Structure 1
Amino acid sequence: MLDIDLHVRVDVDRWIAAQNDLGVCDAIAENAQVGKPSAMTTPRAPKVAGIDSTVPSPPHTAAPLGAPLSAQVSAVPPGTPLQDRLAGWVSDLTLLQELTESLIRTATLDEALHELLRAGAALVGARRGMAVLEPADGLGPASTVGLGLAHAELGTIETVPRSVTSHGRILDGLDPLTEGSLPRPVAVPDLRSEEDLDPRLREVAARLGYAASYALPLATAEAGKLGAVVWLYDEPAEPAERQRHLIGLYGRFATEHLARLLEVERARVRVATVAEELLPSRLPRVPGVQLAARHRTGPRGGGDWYDALPLPEGALGLAVGSVTGSGPSALAAMGRLRASLRAYAVMEGEDPVAVLSDLELLLRLTEPARSATALFAYCEPAARRIVLAGAGHAPPLVVGEHRTEYVETSLSAPLGMLACWEAPSVELSPAPGETVLLYTDGLLRRTGDAMDRAFARLHAAAASVPRADRADPGAVADHVLRTLLPDGPDGPDTAAGDGEDVVLLAARFE
């Protein structure tokens, strides 16, 4: 146990308790006494992580000329080195807590990599950097992001042979390993003084204006090797030992966070792949109508779907729907429901009410705990005639030169909600050049607005389609998505949307 004077211990305890509420600098000011300062309350420069504050000369250092010995002894307050160490520890821990809290709030790999670059640059005292995500298992995804580097500058760095760059040596395992077979950081304090430096690396460094680098592996024993990050200095420099320690701690935490996001991203990709495989691989070509579809799977994988299938006598069946729930079970139910609807459409597609009635009976008998919404339209492109019925689904939207309006469908409950479902169908005749938009509720919920407001926004987005784009149903669908969802269907989830699927099916009649 340290032999610390009682006055020192009490003063340190007061200072630690105060800094928890006030911060390091405020705590020092709060505990400063009025009048002649004591040894423990003398104002000092605040500690900054990675930068040593001014430390007074040790007691054995010679005093300035003319200073008496008594002044030299009294100039060193007792307990000052301990206070400095405590202030440094608290400052470092506070900074690491702030940086890790910012990192943990990131929800995607790109966000996490950018936050890692920003925080690491502050810790090592650099201005620019580059992070390379390249999981060692080869399953991806792989990406490269930069801090203070334009896309062209990142491309310039990538023209350097990877084996001669500091981050490349980490990624390729060309340097000795630490305990546990993990790569070590690579510091190049002065690129200009390196005699054996690769000519291409020297040329790129001179062109981009950096003179030193510090590369950190993104690797832990639990997560494995995920990639590397390198920070670039404008002048010859190298992180101090304390800075290396802090960036090492932060780097290990960042690697674990990236590993979790990596698993989430891989799961999302797998769910999206399954969902796409359950939907039409291509849309049919039927004379008199042009088709386009847009589908985006939410992060949890929902049960929204669409379908378009040619029917006898030149007819066309269009369908959209949504199954309750999310995840693999909802995807499986969506696949079963879509396959059943296709069979019913082939047998009695000219009667949409009969198709949905059969689908409701199947759903009630095979999956009584699940409900679904659906809309089926029987189209005769040559006659520009559509007969449709909906079960708890949003009404279609007709977009044309002279009108943008919702189709008035009958109010009906979703499938599986009533003992016997049946609702009348409606018929409409789109004019030449008009586009009929079928969509799921996920498109409306992604806006984050109340449903009436979301319907109004969808109507406004469809009405604002430029005249030059109205001849292409794909351009119409893209314009609606861009206008309705400024961040895109793959953008950040809204609180109300909760990352639901987005389905939009456009049919333009000639």
Structure 2
Amino acid sequence: MNAPHPAKVAGIDSTVPSPAHTVASAAPGASPVTGAAAPSAAVGPDAPGALLQDRLAGWVSDLTTLHELTERLVRTDTLSEALDEVLRAGAALVGARRGLVVLEPADGLGPDTTVGLGLGRADLGHLETVPRGCLPHGRILDGLPVGEDGVAEPDLLADKSLDPRHREVAARLGYAASYALPLSVEGTAASSAGTGPSITGTAASAGGAGVPAGSSGVPAAGPRRLGAAVWFYNEPAEPGARPRHLAGLYTRYAAQHLARLLEVERTRTAMATMAGELLPSRLPRVSGVQLAARHRTGPLGGGDWYDALPLPDAALGLAVGSVTGSGPSAVAAMGRLRASLRAYAVMEGEDPVAVLSDLELLLRLTEPARSATALFGYCEPALRRITLAGAGHSPPLLVGERRTEFVETSVSAPLGMLACWEAPSVELQAEPGETVLLYTDGLLHRTGDPADRAFARLHAAAAGVPRAARHDPDAVAEHVLRTVLPGGKADADSAEDVVLLAVRFA
């Protein structure tokens, strides 16, 4: 009968600089964390000085390693990037090759997500079949008590106390040991109530213990759980005291960074939801035209909007606009302005100049410190005609088989800039199958090009719409958006909102 396979001690991965000297090498009985030597370690007259020098060299190397890893972490500006970096850095510290991190804030406000390192979607699915309480990170997420230095399972296949399903999945995925750490932040009572994490609430001592910082007198509310991370070993192994200590210091810092990104992500989601609720939930179906829209908002929320509403006599009101500023106040102002424009359009939509004149008067009286640009069109689908009036807005773009041209509109100031706004309207006559593109300036500003080059890029993108896609306004809008803003610019965070409304005449 074979003897049990002894567990290996996992060390720091070679991808991270390791100390040239460690306490263990200076004194066989010394602690890798504290550096305390055994009584029999002092040999020769120079032993105390050599021990101190070796200990200092190890500390400097450890600090250098943590500095490099945290520097890489702070360069991440999204939750997904940060979670990937935490997994890679933790794997290097504890000497693993695979792992996963589960983001599941204890306040239940989300977002909840799971990210794997060296694990495919199917592998993550297999792990989800294991009862949650049987997994080390599952116990952390459930709030069960765990040691300060994490949860180590050095030999999963030999430990008969583990759940059989866990051993089965471990054998299928090819890992024999695991090491898990919680991701939590120290917070005050106020932060636990939902005001965000306390970034300066604790300071890690050399031994990794939380020490209250500051003198505000606010009592600590304990750690707030954000999630858990676990790393897997292909063979029986367990990280030693020094890798555990470094990994613990790193994850405590990483949790603070994740908490900040979590608040940003929640703010971004809330602003996008609020802005989306103030825009049309669906575009109307009107005989003779097809509609499609694209809307992108920045993390702070902006004031760009679009609208399409049925009017009497089988007409259609089309509008795009932008309110100055960003954040909740701009989103709220956009909602008020759009609602007012809808009311004016129903009453006098056949006269776009009158609609924008009323809107300008409302803006000047109710929000004198704010200005806005707007474009309103009274569309008659049966005649393939749009009567347009603009206030400081970019001209529409007409796209057809034989022409791609900007529609000449009168030059006018934005709403709220003059004591009395009024500008003549223009008529646009389209041919069957042609598409009119209405857009906000954010589409041009996100390119980063000067105005003339941005307009040229937009014109070239519209002229280059594939012939097979011209019958579908949704395909036209998507092609123009991705061509004008390539390389992910359309979906990246930006202070500029983007609105694109495509109107195709049958």
TM-score (norm. length: structure 2): 0.83
Structure 1 residues 18-53: Cα deviation after superposition (integer angstroms, max 9, x where no partner) = xxxxxxxxxxxxxxxxxxxxxxxxxxxx98159847
The correspondence for 2:157, drawn from 188, 192, 204, is 192
Q: Which residue identity does 1:499 align to in structure 2?
A: A
Measure how far apart 1:400 and its partner are. 2.0
Larger helix fraction of residues? 1
- Larger proportion of strand: 2
1:213 pairs with one of 165, 178, 203: 178
Q: Is the 8 A contact 1:212 1:233 kept in 2?
A: yes
Aligned to 1:7: none
Q: Taking every aligned residue pair, what percent have the same amino acid on both sides? A: 75
The answer to whether the Cα contact below 8 Å between 1:317 and 1:379 also exists between their aligned partners in 2 is yes
Q: Write out the 4+ residue segments of structure 1 that deviate beyond 6 Å after TM superposition.
A: none
Say whether the 8 Å CA contact 2:297–2:497 is kept in structure 1.
yes
1:216-365 matched pairs, under 5 angstroms: 216-222=181-187, 223=197, 224-365=224-365
Name the structure 2 match of 1:373: 373
The change in CA–CA distance for 1:58 and 1:195 in structure 2 (over 3 A counts) is closer
Task: Figure out how many residues of one structure are paired with residues of the other and give that number.
Answer: 443
Q: Contact (CA 8 Å) 1:50, 1:242: kept in 2 or not?
A: no
Using the TM superposition, give the Cα deviation of residue 157 of structure 1 relative to its aligned residue in structure 2, in angstroms: 2.2
What is the rounded CA distance, in whole Å, between the counterparts of 2:251 and 2:279 in structure 1?
41
Q: Alignment partner for residue 122 of structure 1, among 82, 92, 104?
A: 92
Residue 111 (structure 1) aligns with: 81
**Higher relative contact order structure (alpha carbons within 8 Å, sequence separation ≥ 6):** 2
Q: Per the alignment, in what secondary structure is the counterpart of residue 388 of structure 1?
A: strand
Q: Name which one, 1 or 2, has greater alpha-carbon Rg.
A: 1
| Cα deviation 1:350-401 (Å, max 9, x = unaligned) | 1212211221122122211111110001100001011111111111112222
Q: Choose from 91, 109, 112 the match for 1:139.
A: 109
Change (3 A) 1:308 1:57: closer
2:22 and 2:54 in contact (8 A); partners too = no
Structure 2, unmatched stretches of 5+, are 1-15, 30-42, 188-196, 198-223
Partner SS, residue 237 of structure 2: coil
How many Å separate the matches in 2 of 1:130 and 1:155? 12
In 2, distance between residues paired with 1:389 and 1:312?
19
Deviation at 1:504, TM superposition (A): 1.1
Matches within 5 A, 1:339-488: 339-488=339-488
Structure 1 CA distance for aligned equivalents of residues 234 and 394 of structure 2: 58
In the alignment, which residue of structure 1 is the partner of 2:137? 167
Letter in 1 for 2:168: E
Cα gap change, 1:202/1:389 in structure 2, threshold over 3 Å: closer, same or farther?
A: same
Shift of 1:151: 2.3
> What's the secondary structure of 1:126's corresponding residue?
coil
* Separation of aligned partners in 2, 1:336 and 1:103: 41
> TM-score with structure 1 length normalisation?
0.82
RMSD: 2.3
Kindly state the Cα deviation for residue 407 of structure 1 after the two structures are TM-superposed.
1.3
CA contact (8 A) 1:473 1:507 kept: yes
CA distance in 1, matches of 2:422, 2:367: 19
CA distance in 2, matches of 1:166, 1:370: 55
The answer for the alignment partner of 2:63 in structure 1 is 93
Tell me if the contact between 2:20 and 2:58 (Cα under 8 Å) persists in the aligned partners: no
The DSSP-based 3-state class of the residue aligned with 1:246 is helix
CA distance in 2, matches of 1:184, 1:245: 7
Q: Does the 8 A contact of 1:47 with 1:88 survive in 2? A: no
Aligned partners of 1:127, 1:169: CA distance in 2, in Å?
22
Separation in 2, partners of 1:95, 1:268: 33
- Give the superposition deviation at 1:54: 7.4
SS in 2 for 1:79: helix
Q: Aligned to 1:191, what secondary structure does the other structure show?
A: coil
Amino acid at match of 2:441: D
- The change in CA–CA distance for 1:213 and 1:171 in structure 2 (over 3 A counts) is same
- Structure-2 separation of matches of 1:258 and 1:217: 13
The structural deviation recorded for 1:140 is 0.7
Q: Distance in 2 between matches of 1:240 and 1:441?
A: 57
Structure 2 residue 476 is the aligned partner of structure 1 residue 506: no
What SS does structure 1 have at the residue aligned with 2:138?
helix
Closer/same/farther in 2, CA of residues 47 and 490 from structure 1, 3 Å limit: closer
1:236-263 CA distances to partner (integer Å, 9 max, x unpaired)?
2111101111111111111111111111
Give the Å deviation of 1:73.
4.8
Structure 2 letter corresponding to 1:503: V
